[in-house]
C-alpha cells in the first residue's frame, strides 16, 4: 500500500499547542461503523456512548527524556532517550546534531541542570545511539516537534493513571481522562513503553518497505483473563491496541511487539477504539485506517478539519464503535 495514501492537508492552526483547561473538556467525535453514524460530543460524555465495554488503558509513564547537553568543544547537543537497555545506565537514544558525534564522547549537562553526563557508546544509524547515562533521566518532557509552546505543567503530558516509567512519548488518547471519569468506567491496564516509531514518519514509498521498531510490553495475568473474557473491549489508543492484538496472537504476556497494524489486519481482541487525530504518513494513522477503514478514516478526518477539531497530542479525540 502506498504511503501517500496516508497523507492529508491540515491547517497549522488546528495543531493543538496546549491541553484544554480540563482534561475531559476536549471534544469527542463518535463514529459508529455499523451504521456510519457520526456524533459530536465532549469527552466527558464518553460513558454515555459505551455499553458493556471493558476500557483498557496503557499505564506507561513518560520519562523526562529530553536532555540538553554540551560537547567538550562547547557545542550544544540534544539527546532524546528512547528505551532503557540491559546494562548499567544504558539507553537507546536519538542525538542531534548527530553527524559530528563520535563513540566515546562524553556530553556534559548544562550548568544549571541536575542531569548527569551522557557517554556516547555506539552509533546505531539514523541518528540513533547507544548511550550510558549517569543516574536517572532528569531532563524535560519530550514534547513532539510540532508543539512550539512551553508546557507549564509537565503532568499534563502524563495520563492520570501513568505508573511505570519507560515511554519516550505519552499514550495521548489517555490524556483526556480524569479520576472522576475513570470511576464511571470498567477499566483494566496494560503497559507498553512508547518508543522510536512515534517520532518517525513513514518515509518509504510503500508500507511494506517500512521497518517497525519493536516496543516492550507486559500484561498481568489477571488483567489478561478479564480482557480475554470481556464481551467487548475498548482500546484506549494505538499503543493499547498493539498490546492487545499482540497477546491475542502469541499468547505471551510480556516481551517486545513488532506487530505492524495496517489495513487488512484482522482484529482479534479490540472491538472499539478511542484515539486522537494523528500525524499524516504515520504508523498510528495506518492503524486507525485498519480499524475504521481507509476511506472512512479519510472522510472522518475531513469532517474533523471542517468542524475545527484540535489535532495531535494535545488535541481532541475520536471514538470508533
- Model pLDDT, residue 214: 87
Read off the pLDDT of residues 36-74 as tens digits, 9 standing for 90 and up: 999 999 999 999 999 999 999 999 999 999 999 999 989
Question: What is the helix (H) or strand (E) element at residue 167, kind and residue range?
Answer: strand 164-167
Distance CA 178, CA 159 (A): 9
Distance CA 86, CA 84 (A): 7
Read off the pLDDT of residues 267-301 as tens digits, 9 standing for 90 and up: 999 999 999 999 999 999 999 999 999 999 999 99
139 in Cβ contact with 68 (< 8 Å):
yes
Distance CA 84, CA 67 (A): 15
Max CA separation in the chain (angstroms): 63
Q: What percent of the chain has pLDDT over 70?
A: 98
DSSP strand pairing (76-84 vs 66-70): antiparallel
DSSP helix/strand/coil, 4: helix
Residues 6+ apart with CB under 8 A from 32: 38, 321
- What average pLDDT is seen over the chain? 94
Paired with 129 in beta bridges are 93, 123
Signed CA dihedral, 303, 305, 310, 315: sign only: positive
68 in Cβ contact with 110 (< 8 Å):
yes
Distance CA 66, CA 63 (A): 9
Cell digits for 229? Answer: 473474557
Scored b (16 or more CB within 10 A) or e, 26-57 reads bbbbbbeeeeeeeeeebbbbbeebbeebbbbb
Read off the pLDDT of residues 98-122 as tens digits, 9 standing for 90 and up: 888 999 999 999 867 788 999 999 9
Q: Of 291, 296, 294, 300, which is closest to residue 318 (Cα–Cα)? A: 300
Cell digits for 64? Answer: 523526562
Region of residue 314 (left: phi > 0; alpha: psi -120 to 50; beta: else): alpha
Q: Of 168, 252, 247, 163, which is closest to residue 213 (Cα–Cα)? A: 168
Mean pLDDT of 110-136: 91
- Model pLDDT, residue 115: 86
Question: What is the helix (H) or strand (E) element at residue 239, kind and residue range?
Answer: helix 238-250
- Model pLDDT, residue 199: 62
Signed CA dihedral, 299, 303, 308, 314: sign only: negative
Q: Of 193, 189, 191, 214, which is closest to residue 283 (Cα–Cα)? A: 214
Distance CA 20, CA 187 (A): 23
Domains of the chain and CATH, by start: 3-62+143-320 (3.40.1780.10), 66-133 (2.40.10.240)
- Model pLDDT, residue 102: 95
Taking 70 as the threshold, does the pLDDT of residue 84 lie above it? yes
Read off the pLDDT of residues 180-223 as tens digits, 9 standing for 90 and up: 999 999 999 999 999 876 667 777 888 778 777 789 999 999 99
Taking 70 as the threshold, does the pLDDT of residue 316 lie above it? yes
Q: What is the DSSP letter of 305?
A: H
> What is the CB neighbour count within 10 angstroms for residue 307?
12
Amino acid at each position: 500500500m502506498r504511503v501517500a495514501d496516508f497523507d492529508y492537508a491540515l491547517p497549522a492552526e488546528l495543531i493543538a499547542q496546549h491541553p484544554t483547561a480540563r482534561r475531559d473538556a476536549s471534544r469527542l467525535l463518535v463514529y459508529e461503523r455499523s451504521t456510519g453514524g457520526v456524533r459530536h460530543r465532549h469527552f466527558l460524555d464518553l460513558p454515555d456512548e459505551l455499553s458493556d465495554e471493558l476500557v483498557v488503558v496503557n499505564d506507561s509513564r513518560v520519562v523526562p527524556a529530553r536532555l540538553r547537553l554540551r560537547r567538550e568543544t562547547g557545542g550544544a547537543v540534544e539527546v532524546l532517550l528512547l528505551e532503557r537497555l540491559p546494562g548499567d545506565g544504558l539507553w537507546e537514544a536519538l542525538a542531534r546534531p548527530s553527524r559530528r558525534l563520535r563513540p566515546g564522547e562524553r556530553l556534559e549537562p548544562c550548568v544549571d541542570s541536575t542531569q548527569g553526563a551522557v557517554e556516547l557508546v555506539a552509533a546505531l544509524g539514523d541518528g540513533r545511539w547507544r548511550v550510558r547515562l549517569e543516574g536517572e533521566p532528569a531532563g524535560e518532557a519530550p514534547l513532539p516537534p510540532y508543539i512550539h509552546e512551553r508546557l507549564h505543567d509537565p503532568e499534563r503530558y502524563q495520563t492520570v493513571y501513568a505508573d511505570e516509567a519507560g515511554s519516550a512519548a505519552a499514550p495521548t488518547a489517555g490524556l483526556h481522562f480524569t479520576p472522576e471519569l475513570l470511576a464511571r468506567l470498567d477499566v483494566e491496564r496494560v503497559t507498553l513503553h512508547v518508543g522510536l516509531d512515534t517520532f518517525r514518519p513513514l518515509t518509504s514509498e510503500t508500507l511494506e518497505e517500512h521497518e517497525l521498531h519493536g516496543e516492550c510490553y507486559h500484561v498481568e495475568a489477571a488483567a489478561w483473563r478479564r480482557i480475554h473474557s470481556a464481551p467487548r473491549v475498548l482500546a484506549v489508543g494505538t499503543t493499547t491496541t498493539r498490546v492487545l492484538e499482540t497477546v491475542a496472537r502469541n499468547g505471551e504476556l510480556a516481551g517486545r511487539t513488532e506487530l505492524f497494524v495496517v489495513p487488512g489486519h484482522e482484529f482479534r481482541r479490540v472491538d472499539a477504539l478511542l484515539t486522537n487525530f494523528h500525524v499524516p504518513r504515520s504508523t498510528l494513522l495506518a492503524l486507525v485506517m485498519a480499524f475504521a477503514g481507509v476511506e472512512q478514516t479519510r472522510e472522518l478526518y475531513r469532517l474533523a478539519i471542517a468542524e475545527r477539531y484540535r489535532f495531535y497530542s494535545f488535541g481532541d479525540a475520536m471514538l470508533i464503535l
